[in-house]
Amino acid sequence: MFSLNAEEQEKQTPQSTWRTFRRGLALSPELKVGLAGTLLLAIVSMVGRAIVPFAIQKGIDLGLVGKDTPDVQVVAIIVGVTLALLVVTTICGYLMIRRLYQVSETALANIRVRTFRHIHDLSMLHQQAERRGSLVSRVTSDVDTITHFIQWGGVILLISGGQLIVTTALMFAMSWQLTLVVLTAFLPAILMIKLFQKRLAAAYAETRRRIGHMLAAISESVVGAPIIRSYGTSARTAQKLDKSIGEFQAAQKRGLFMSVMSFSTGEIAAALALAAVVIAGASLGADGQLTLGQLTAFLFLVTLFIQPVQIATEVLNEAQNAIAGWRRVLDILDVQPDVADPAEQGVELPAGPLDLKFADVNFNYPGGPRVLNDIQLEIPAKTRVAVVGETGSGKTTFAKLLTRLMDPVDGQVLLSGTPLTTVKFSSLRSRVVLVPQDGFLFDATVAENVRFAKPGMTDAELDLAFTELGLGDWVQGLGHGYDTRVGERGEALSVGERQLVALVRAYVADPDLLVLDEATSAVDPATEVRLQRTLDAVTRGRTTVAIAHRLSTAQAADEVIVVDKGVIVQRGSHDKLVAQEGSIYAKLYASWLEQTR
Q: Within positions 388 to 417, which residues make up the interface with other proteins, using CB under 8 A?
A: 390-392, 396, 403, 405
434 in contact with other proteins (CB under 8 A)? yes
149 burial (CB, 10 Å; 0-12 / 13-18 / 19+) is buried
Q: Give dist(CA 573, CA 31) in Å, integer.
A: 63
171 in contact with other proteins (CB under 8 A)? no
Longest dimension (CA), the chain: 124
183 in contact with other proteins (CB under 8 A)? no
Amino acid at 135: L
271 in contact with other proteins (CB under 8 A)? yes
Shortest Å, Cβ 303 to other proteins: 7
> What Å distances lie between residue 361 and 406, 413, 414, CA to CA?
12, 7, 11
521 in contact with other proteins (CB under 8 A)? yes
Exposure string for 230-263, b = 16+ CB within 10 A, e = fewer: eeeeeeebeebeeebeebbeebbebbeebbeebb
Q: Choose which of 18, 194, 242, 540 interacts with other proteins (CB under 8 A).
A: 242
- Indicate the residue among 8 and 11 with the shorter CB distance to other proteins: 8
Q: Give dist(CA 215, CA 241) in Å, integer.
A: 9
Q: Choose which of 493, 513, 519, 562 interacts with other proteins (CB under 8 A).
A: 493
Residues 426/388, Cβ–Cβ less than 8 Å = no
Shortest Å, Cβ 543 to other proteins: 16
> Which has the closest alpha carbon to 478: 507, 506, 508, 441?
441
Residues numbered 522-561 forming contacts with other proteins, rule: CB under 8 A: 522-530, 532-533, 549, 551-552, 555-556
Q: Choose which of 205, 295, 385, 402 interacts with other proteins (CB under 8 A).
A: 295
116 in contact with other proteins (CB under 8 A)? yes
- Indicate the residue among 17 and 30 with the shorter CB distance to other proteins: 30
Q: How many residues make contact with other proteins (CB under 8 A)?
A: 192
Shortest Å, Cβ 255 to other proteins: 9
Q: Choose which of 27, 54, 59, 313 interacts with other proteins (CB under 8 A).
A: 59
Binding to other proteins by CB under 8 A, coded x per residue (else -) over 463-492, reads -----------x--xxx-------xxx-xx
Residues numbered 335-374 forming contacts with other proteins, rule: CB under 8 A: none
- Indicate the residue among 12 and 54 with the shorter CB distance to other proteins: 54
Q: Give dist(CA 366, CA 1) in Å, integer.
A: 8
Residues numbered 444-463 forming contacts with other proteins, rule: CB under 8 A: 452-453, 455
300 in contact with other proteins (CB under 8 A)? yes
155 burial (CB, 10 Å; 0-12 / 13-18 / 19+) is buried
> Which has the closest alpha carbon to 278: 265, 256, 296?
296
Q: Choose which of 33, 97, 464, 567 interacts with other proteins (CB under 8 A).
A: 97
Q: Choose which of 42, 100, 386, 560 interacts with other proteins (CB under 8 A).
A: 100
Estimate to the nearest angstrom the gap between the alpha carbon of 276 and the chain centroid.
Answer: 51
* 3-state SS record for 455-467: CCCCHHHHHHHHH
Q: Choose which of 3, 22, 37, 106 interacts with other proteins (CB under 8 A).
A: 106
Q: Give dist(CA 201, CA 209) in Å, integer.
A: 12
- Indicate the residue among 52 and 183 with the shorter CB distance to other proteins: 52
